Amino acid sequence: MSGVAQTNLRNSLPELRTLLSKQKDAANRSHYQIKLSRFYLYNKSGTKQNLDSAYFFALAATENSKNGHGSEGSKESRTVLSEVLLRKGATKAALAQTSGMDGLTIARMLINAGSYFVYKRGEHKGDLDTAFRFLQQAKKIAGSKNALKLVHEAELYLCDLYREGGQREKSDQHFAQLLKDCEATGDDELAAATASRIGDHLPFSSEKIRFYERALMYYKKIGQTEQEIGMEKGIADVNLNLGKLKLAEQQLLSVLKRYQKLGYKNLQFTYDLLSAINQFSGSQKAALSYAISAIEFMELTESDASAGYFYSNLARIYGDLGDTQRSISYFLKAVEWTDPRESDAKLTAVKNLADQLIIQGKIHEVFKVLDSNIPKVEPSELGRMIIAGIRGKCYEALKNNPLAETHFLEMIRWEKKIPGHFFHKAEGFYSIGSFYMHTKSFANARTYFNKIALLPAGTYPLSKIKNVYLSLYQLDSATNRLDSAIVHYKLYKLISDSLLNASANRTISEMALRYQSKQQEKDNQLLRKESILQLGKLQKADLTNKITFAGIAALLLIIGLVYRNYHHRKKANQQLLAQQQIITHKNHSLELLLESQEKLLNEKEWLIKEIHHRIKNNLQVVASLLNSQLNYLDNEEARLAIKDSQNRIQSISLIHQKLFQSEDLNIVDIHAYIHDLVKFLCDTFHVGQRINFLIEVPKISFDITQATPLGLIVNEAITNIIKYAFPNNSPGETHISLSKNPNERYTFRISDNGIGLPQDLDQSKTMGMTLIRGLAEQLGGTAEIVSDKGLSISIEFDLVPTEK
């Protein structure tokens, strides 16, 4: 819909300029001038310079199409000109564009004017009254022309108008009725837009996804691929905020692939979301890579309307990596580039900047940032929560604990009024929890840290969750809760170990260095361009002076100026040359460093492969020695024990064989591994077709630390089943499964339909059962063993994340 703010995804700004320069026909020139005008209007920040550019191209398009008065090109150019004039605050001039237009074009312009006043910053009653008047006029004109689509579009903005005016119930009723009307009349495009807008107003939830999916269905039906992919991205964003990180990542990678297939250039929003997902999951290397890509695509397309978000994301990653100075630098950019009309985003950037300044002890600078930015925004309930939290941290840093607590408690009062927003809630809980911990109010501190632990998984970054468990461990230690302290310390270590290792940190440093080198080169290019422009200005000034001033005195003055400028220019050129030599040297050093790092990584990979190979060979030697020992044993019980040990060794050896053959040297494909292990055991005991093994294990990567105990459990359980479950060579069935539970944990189960355990058997005294329970603890779970119409062993555990 042309009445809705658009984002040109197919072309970058330089491409549109190039395409315009190649057009000879007036109609074609008008077409690309309209595209350029809308790009400046909706893809660029709302500065006066950008609005002037939008106006320039809209006016040029109108001039090119004026010979075809009444044509579609003329209507579109006049319509976009009216949109630009509205944004520039020239309402009368915008409405004057309706002169001589047909009824439907007038209705379209009135809808544009109405939508502008609906969303105009401030939500003043006068603006909403103006919007209502324009939208009602548009409905009346469209209705008289039987233009049902325009009637529905005007009604869509009226629904939003009621919500902006605080009439939420009336807005919901109108939205529901509009959706029914669109569906009843077959207006699929407006049905999709309405379902999407309803979803926009809902908090992050399954209901929000339901409306987005409904919109997606209609866009797919009418073949609007760009809008369809946009809804897929919206659904992924909701899943990200609900903590469903894996699902959100899969959806976004699909979105990225589809955009790339269509040849779209504005991919920065998708990369930004992918970066956020990896921040939350603790993959800082991928997070940094995606964040840099988002900014690079923003710069490539020159689409900077959302630059504040991208700079803020990059700054947050640098903060997590401990690079406070670089983090502050990008947060300053984020605050500068974020539109005050987006108050929550603006205040979030201010909050993130404040956190880094407080780390450096620059409390008074934080107050300056607050004083310069708060008057520019109209904070929501979330915004007021953020402001109170910033003030609380400042007074805590100044050791004014009573005032700090007052602001923190105000922050919590606002927190209770905002649905969803799990990340901001967690940030608030962490701030007040840390405050109470420092002031030794341990019970209060534990309350707020536990609140974070109870939030949905994936809604708070692992790097921060790690600190929550460390704080809980410290609280437990201080209050002599030793059992709880051990649990929390284990959780802290588990997350710490799963985060970046030293090698990844080096990779991140190299990535950041490459990005900074690119930025430095861009700055240098800009300096060179500015030098050329400055030289041109100086030459023009010299020419003007020669013409203006006469006489020998003026001539001498000009000669003096020329000499001085020549001296300065020569000095500037020398500085530029020296800087270029420094950059060339740094680039050469960087190339050598990268070559060295790559060589070290290859050597490390080769060494790890060799270690796995040698471990496998050594285990085979041990198995062979045990086999030799069998020849000297007459005791059948001892022989069986030796054979069991051989099988256990083989299960471990098989893991190292797969690691040696794999590209990823620390993970095992558990699907292939279990199949191979079961086959080995069946061959060893000559099972044949007597026992039917049903294996339902998905292709999941296991870390070696979990693959080893799981393999030993399988070995132990299958060995006992083959030996004891089906006496007298009777046939039977064994089921092996691995499944993910709704609570994000995994359940591994082995069950058979054999005779089960003897009723008088004490499980605690059997080596096999004791071994299985011990291995289940190594796996991170507990074993539940049930003997009823067969034997069932089930273990519920958390999957340790793997780094690829």
In this prediction, residue 591 carries a pLDDT of 65
pLDDT of residue 321: 80
Helix, strand, coil abundance in the chain, percent, nearest 5: 75, 5, 20
Give the integer Cα–Cα distance in Å for 417 and 258. 39
Question: Are 265 and 15 a contacting pair, CB within 8 Å?
Answer: yes
Span 669-693, average pLDDT: 85
pLDDT value of position 502:
34
Interatomic CA distance for residues 472 and 477, integer angstroms: 9
Better-predicted residue by pLDDT, 220 or 646? 220
Which of 241-255, 487-501, 648-662 is predicted with the least confidence, judged by mean pLDDT?
Answer: 648-662
The DSSP line for 13-67 is HHHHHHHHHT--SHHHHHHHHHHHHHHHHHTS---HHHHHHHHHHHHHHHHHHGG
pLDDT band with cut points at 50, 70 and 90 for residue 377? confident
pLDDT at 522: 53
Phi, psi for 73 (deg, rounded to 5): -60, -40
CATH for the stretch 633-797: 3.30.565.10
Q: 456: closest CA among 248, 310, 199, 256?
A: 248
pLDDT of residue 610: 52
The closest of 508, 525, 552, 11 to 290, measured between CA atoms, is 508
Of 30-44, 509-523, 654-668, 727-741, minimum mean pLDDT range: 509-523
Write out the CATH class of domain 379-498: mainly alpha
Q: Give 774-785 pLDDT, tens digit per residue.
A: 888 888 888 898
Examine the pLDDT at 231 and tell me if it is beyond 90.
yes
Residue 577's pLDDT is 66
* Residue 429, strand partner residues: none
- Residue 527 has a pLDDT of 45
Average pLDDT of the segment spanning 165-173: 90
Report if pTM > 0.85.
Answer: no
pLDDT of residue 221: 94
Mean pLDDT of the 277-294 span: 86
- 203-212, 368-377, 578-587, 739-748: segment of lowest average pLDDT: 578-587
Flag whether pLDDT at 526 surpasses 50: no
Residue 236 pLDDT greater than 50, yes or no: yes
pLDDT tops 90 at residue 386: yes
By DSSP bridging, strand 667-669 and strand 701-703 are antiparallel
623 pLDDT more than 90: no
Structure-token pair, residue 456 = 């949905």
Least confident of 233-247, 399-413, 612-626: 612-626
Q: Quick one: average pLDDT of 148-155?
A: 92
Q: Decide if pLDDT at 316 tops 80.
A: yes
Asked if 569 and 535 touch (Cβ cutoff 8 Å), the reply is yes
Q: Which residues of 178-193 are buried (b: 16+ CB within 10 A; e: fewer)?
A: bbebbbeeebbbbbbb
The string of pLDDT tens digits covering residues 546-601 is 555 555 655 666 666 666 766 666 676 676 666 666 666 666 666 666 666 665 55
Q: What is the pLDDT of residue 535?
A: 47
pLDDT at residue 792 greater than cutoff 90 = yes
Determine what percent of the chain is predicted with pLDDT higher than 90.
Answer: 29
Q: Which one is predicted more confidently, 284 or 654? A: 284
pLDDT (0 to 100) of residue 187 = 92
Entry field: residues in the chain? 804
CA distance 504 to 282: 12
* Res 67: pLDDT: 59
Alpha-carbon distance of 529 to 25, in angstroms, equals 33
Question: Residue 68 pLDDT more than 90?
Answer: no
What's the whole-number mean pLDDT along residues 668-673? 86
pLDDT at residue number 628: 56
Q: What is the mean pLDDT of residues 726-744?
A: 91
- What is the rounded average pLDDT for all residues in the chain? 81
Q: Please list, in sequence order, all residues whose beta carbon lies within 8 angstroms of the beta carbon of residue 254, skipping any fewer than 6 positions away.
A: 232
| Neighbouring-strand partners of residue 750 | 736, 793
Segment 341-347 mean pLDDT: 84
As a whole number, mean pLDDT of residues 90-105 equals: 88
Residue 260 confidence (pLDDT) above 80: yes
What's the average model confidence in pLDDT over 108-118?
Answer: 89
Q: Say if residue 158's pLDDT is above 80.
A: yes
504 falls in which pLDDT band (50, 70, 90)? very low
What integer pLDDT is reported at residue 380 of this predicted model? 87
Task: For 409-430, write each residue's pLDDT tens digit.
Answer: 999 999 998 887 888 999 999 9
Main-chain dihedrals φ then ψ at residue 695, nearest 5 degrees? -110, 115
Range 711-738 average pLDDT: 89
Q: Which DSSP category does 455 fall into? A: S
What the block records as the tokens of 500 is: 């970046």
The DSSP symbol for 462 reads: H
Q: Does residue 173 have a pLDDT over 50?
A: yes
With b for 16 or more beta-carbon neighbours within 10 A and e for fewer, the 506-516 pattern comes to ebbeeebeebe
pLDDT at position 338, please?
83
